[in-house]
């Protein structure tokens, strides 16, 4: 019996103490006609050696690829220490720190995380994390609407990830909130203040400002922030934590700084993992803390005057406020935050900045080298961080498929969500990509693009023979 320690004689003794004949008697309050038939879609159990074989086979089938995809989740070097420590049983198998005295490890770590995130974003306070970047943006929209009381609209640039817009819409639409899409400049790939300023600000609670945006392009954050504040809107910065080591943090945008900063925490210490678990972060100005959803850890003292840590401001939360809570959220992404905190401590300010710089340098090299290929053009003339958009003269779906056959996952096809950009794709090279890999990408892309244009494969074969 997997993971059940009872011996036959113990079972007997336990049933005697309870005063029943069999385990089945313990289910006698369940109406007979509700008792389930045997499970039919669950196979017989297997042992650890066998499941190891199954999983290894499936993993091998999936294989490893050289990755040039970003779009919200990024491959970065993760020091060995990070997950060695994170998977210690004391972190891995603990629960939400309700009993503070028995959870000081997790609580102190969360306080350190909050401090790191506040410093990285240049804002005063942080919560202990949310589910992921997309849902964190939705929670920021809800927080902004609560803070602005009567306003029910939020301005959302089209330069944030399409899936973020979808998620925000799913989460906020039944609360009577209207999301207004802002179009972008097809020259710069950014959201010019001139476009934003055409919007009405009546009944608008906030403006979302991504930095960098989905195209990797840097937005005019100072001008956008000042415009929003001049019109009585809150500013929600949507940022990448690695980029924050290099770029001006939201807390210093414009004259007053963004009011809320959120984003996807995955880049700092969390593996790509086919999509999760990741974590979202949220920081804000002190005056908005009571609108913040999720767990918050505070520093206090014990009865002997020693410093200690505890969950605080719980009066915002669902287990106290029930239907009047700021959100229904009851966990954070504790284990992911454990990894992120250890990652940021190991890298430090200089290390994180070096990672950011190397990401930028590699992406610049990648874009320059690919844009030299005939039929490939780099879109947008604005400064960028670690991603860029390439326009192709061919269907990106087929190109990406051909690259995959060479062991390269080459980018994200943008043609469905951004038809105005034609046949285009989003590419990324983080610090983990080598010069050789970047060169190889260029060689394969050139060959794939040109072969189709010039010679069908059979013609090449003949030429090769000659």
Partner 1 sequence: MLIFELSKPTRRNSSQSPREESKITDIPEEFLREDLASLPEVSELQVVRHYTRLSQNNFSIDTHFYPLGSCTMKYNPRACNKYAMLPEFLMRHPQSAVTTGQGFLQCLHELQEMLKDVTGMKGVSLTPLAGAQGEFAGVTMIRAYHESRDDQRRDEILVPDAAHGTNPATATMCGYKVREIPTDAEGDVDVEALRAAVGPQTAGLMLTNPSTLGIFEGHIQEIADIVHEAGGLLYYDGANLNAIVGKVKPGDMGFDVIHMNLHKTFSTPHGGGGPGAGPVGVNDRLLPFLPIPIVTEEGGEYRWLTELDLPQSIGRLSGSMGNAGVLLRAYIYARLLGKEGMNRVAEFATLNANYLMAQLRSRGLDIAYPTRRAAHEFIVTLKSLKEQTGVIAMDVAKRLLDKGYHAPTVYFPLLVPECFLIEPTETESKQELDGFTDALVEILEEAHRDPELVKSAPHTTPVTRLDEVKAARELDVAWNNE
State yes or no: residue 412 binds partner 1 (CB under 8 A).
yes
Answer for which of 21, 150, 202, 274 binds partner 1 (CB under 8 A) is 274
Element (H, E) at 413: strand 412-413
Could you tell me the strand order of the sheet in which 387-392 lies?
376-378, 387-392, 424-428, 412-413
- Closest distance to partner 1 from the beta carbon of 295 (Å): 7
Q: Is the dihedral of CA 396, 402, 406, 407 positive or negative?
A: positive
Answer for which of 17, 454, 458, 462 binds partner 1 (CB under 8 A) is 17
Site for partner 1 in 158-217 (CB under 8 A): 161, 163-164, 166-167, 169-171, 174-176
**What end-to-end distance do the CA atoms of the chain give, in Å?**
68
CB 279 within 8 A of CB 132: yes
State yes or no: residue 352 binds partner 1 (CB under 8 A).
yes
Q: Per-residue contact track with partner 1, 63 to 102, x per CB under 8 A?
A: xxx-x-x-xxx-x-x-x-x-x-x-xxxxxxxxxxxxxxxx
State yes or no: residue 58 binds partner 1 (CB under 8 A).
yes
CB closer to partner 1 out of 18 and 187 = 18
Site for partner 1 in 355-374 (CB under 8 A): 355, 357-358, 360-361, 364
Helix (H, G, I), strand (E, B) or coil at 320: helix
Q: Residue 340 is encoded by which pair of tokens?
A: 């992120």
Closest CA to 356 of 327, 331, 387, 334: 387
Find the farthest-apart pair of alpha carbons in the chain and give their distance in angstroms, rounded. 91
CB closer to partner 1 out of 146 and 451 = 146
DSSP 367-400: HHHHHTSTTEEE---S-BSSEEEEEESS-HHHHH
Site for partner 1 in 292-331 (CB under 8 A): 295-304, 306, 308-310, 312-313, 315, 317-325, 327-331
Q: Residue 44 is encoded by which pair of tokens?
A: 């017989």
CB closer to partner 1 out of 201 and 431 = 431
Q: How many residues bind partner 1 (CB under 8 A)?
A: 196
Residue whose entry in the numeric block shows the structure tokens 């060689």? 443
Residue whose entry in the numeric block shows the structure tokens 């309870």? 18
State yes or no: residue 30 binds partner 1 (CB under 8 A).
yes
Distance from C-alpha of 129 to C-alpha of 117, rounded to nearest angstrom: 10
Q: Per-residue contact track with partner 1, 111 to 150, x per CB under 8 A?
A: xx-xxx-xxx---xxx-xx-xxxxx---------------
Closest CA to 124 of 283, 313, 290, 349: 283
Q: Per-residue contact track with partner 1, 219 to 238, x per CB under 8 A?
A: --xx----------------
- Closest distance to partner 1 from the beta carbon of 77 (Å): 7
State yes or no: residue 383 binds partner 1 (CB under 8 A).
yes
Element (H, E) at 408: strand 408-409
State yes or no: residue 56 binds partner 1 (CB under 8 A).
yes
CB closer to partner 1 out of 118 and 201 = 118
CB closer to partner 1 out of 6 and 453 = 6
């Amino acid at each position: 019996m997997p993971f059940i320690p009872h011996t036959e004689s113990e079972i007997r003794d336990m049933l005697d103490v309870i005063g029943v004949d069999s385990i089945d008697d313990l289910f006698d309050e369940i109406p007979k006609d509700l008792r389930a038939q045997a499970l039919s879609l669950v196979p017989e159990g297997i042992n650890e050696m066998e499941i190891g074989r199954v999983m290894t086979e499936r993993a091998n089938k999936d294989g490893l690829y050289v990755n040039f995809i970003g779009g919200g989740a990024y491959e970065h070097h993760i020091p060995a220490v990070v997950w060695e420590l994170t998977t210690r049983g004391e972190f891995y198998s603990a629960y939400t720190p309700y009993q503070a005295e028995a959870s000081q490890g997790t609580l102190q770590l969360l306080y350190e995380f909050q401090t790191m995130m506040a410093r990285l974003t240049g804002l005063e306070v942080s919560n202990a994390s949310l589910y992921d970047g997309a849902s964190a943006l939705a929670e920021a929209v809800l927080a902004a609407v609560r803070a602005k009381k009567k306003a029910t609209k939020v301005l959302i640039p089209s330069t944030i990830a399409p899936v973020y817009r979808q998620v925000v819409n799913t989460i906020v639409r039944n609360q009577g909130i209207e999301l207004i899409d802002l179009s972008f400049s097809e020259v710069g790939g950014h959201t010019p203040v001139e476009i934003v300023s055409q919007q009405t600000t009546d009944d608008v609670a906030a403006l979302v400002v991504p930095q960098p945006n989905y195209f990797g392009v840097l937005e005019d954050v100072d001008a956008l922030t000042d415009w929003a504040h001049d019109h009585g809107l809150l500013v929600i910065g949507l940022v990448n934590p690695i980029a924050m080591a290099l770029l001006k943090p939201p807390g210093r945008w414009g004259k007053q700084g963004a009011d809320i900063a959120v984003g996807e925490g995955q880049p700092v210490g969390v593996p790509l993992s086919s999509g999760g678990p990741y974590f979202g972060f949220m920081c804000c100005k002190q005056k908005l803390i009571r609108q913040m959803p999720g767990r918050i850890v505070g520093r206090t003292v014990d009865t002997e005057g020693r410093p200690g840590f505890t969950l605080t401001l719980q009066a915002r939360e669902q287990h106290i406020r029930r239907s009047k809570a700021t959100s229904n959220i009851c966990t954070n992404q504790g284990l992911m935050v454990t990894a992120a905190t250890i990652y940021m401590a190991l890298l430090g300010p200089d290390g994180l900045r070096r990672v950011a710089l190397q990401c930028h340098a590699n992406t610049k090299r990648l874009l320059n080298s690919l844009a030299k290929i005939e039929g490939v053009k780099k879109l947008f003339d604005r400064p960028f961080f670690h991603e860029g958009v390439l326009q192709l003269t061919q269907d990106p779906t087929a190109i990406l498929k051909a690259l995959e056959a060479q062991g390269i996952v080459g980018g994200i096809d943008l043609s469905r969500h951004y038809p105005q950009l034609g046949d285009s794709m989003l590419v990324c090279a983080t610090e983990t990509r080598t010069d050789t890999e970047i060169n190889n990408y260029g060689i394969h892309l050139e060959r794939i693009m040109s072969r189709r244009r010039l010679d069908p494969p059979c013609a090449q074969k003949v030429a090769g023979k000659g």
